[in-house]
Amino acid sequence: MNSFNTVFNLRAFFSRTAWLFIFAAVLAAGCSSLNKPASASFASVIISSQSIEKIKAATVTVFTQNGYQLMSLPTGELAFQREATRREQIDYAGFVGAHQGEPVVIRVRLSIEPSGVGAYLLGCKAYAVCNPGQPVFETSTALFNFQSGSYQRLLDNVKGTVQQPAVTP
């Protein structure tokens, strides 16, 4: 009987230890965005020694090469959108909306802010927009921070493009 209690207590110990490690891993993964400024909570990069015009040109190039169309906004800020994938359409318009062909686009708004001497913070926030262009029925849903991976890669691409040395013959 004593060995049963020992085995049971060991199982409880290992079970609690496993849950503790899982909890610690979740906390560690969630804290990865704490090293960014508050304005850069979704996806962002810091670009140094470049003008705003070069950053904007590189951003337009990278986003258009990845299937996004440039949008003109009255505020003058950069924004792009692309048609949502089938999965995204089901996620944001629902099964019925997707079946009935409710349009859904993914819209990305970018901002360029000064970040120290000669440096700029290029940040973005992405939204799923149902019924785009319809003033009464258009709804937008902000994507969560854990969905920012592909947008972070796009911004990393922009940084790599704008900071490449010029090729001289």
Consecutive 10-residue averages of pLDDT for the chain (169 residues): 57 55 49 50 91 94 96 86 94 88 94 92 96 89 94 96 72
pLDDT at 10: 53
3-state secondary structure of 151: helix
- Residue environment code for 88-112, b if the CB has 16+ CB neighbours within 10 A, otherwise e: bbbebbeeebbeeeebbbbbbbbeb
CA geometry: angle 36, 39, 40, nearest 5 deg: 45
Domain of residue 4, residue span:
1-35
For residues 58 and 99, membership in a common domain is answered with: yes
pLDDT at 29: 47
pLDDT at 147: 93
113 DSSP β-pair partners: 121
CATH label of the domain that carries residue 87: 3.30.310
pLDDT at 166: 60
For residues 22 and 67, membership in a common domain is answered with: no
Q: Which residue has tokens 């927009």?
A: 129
For residues 104 and 128, membership in a common domain is answered with: yes
Q: Are 62 and 108 in contact (CB under 8 A)?
A: no
pLDDT at 106: 96
Q: Are 42 and 148 in contact (CB under 8 A)?
A: yes
For residues 41 and 31, membership in a common domain is answered with: no
pLDDT at 155: 96
Residue 163 buriedness (CB in 10 A; 0-12 / 13-18 / 19+): middle
pLDDT at 28: 46
Q: How far is CA 30 from CA 18, 38, 56, 123, in A?
A: 19, 15, 30, 19
Determine the residue type at 43. A
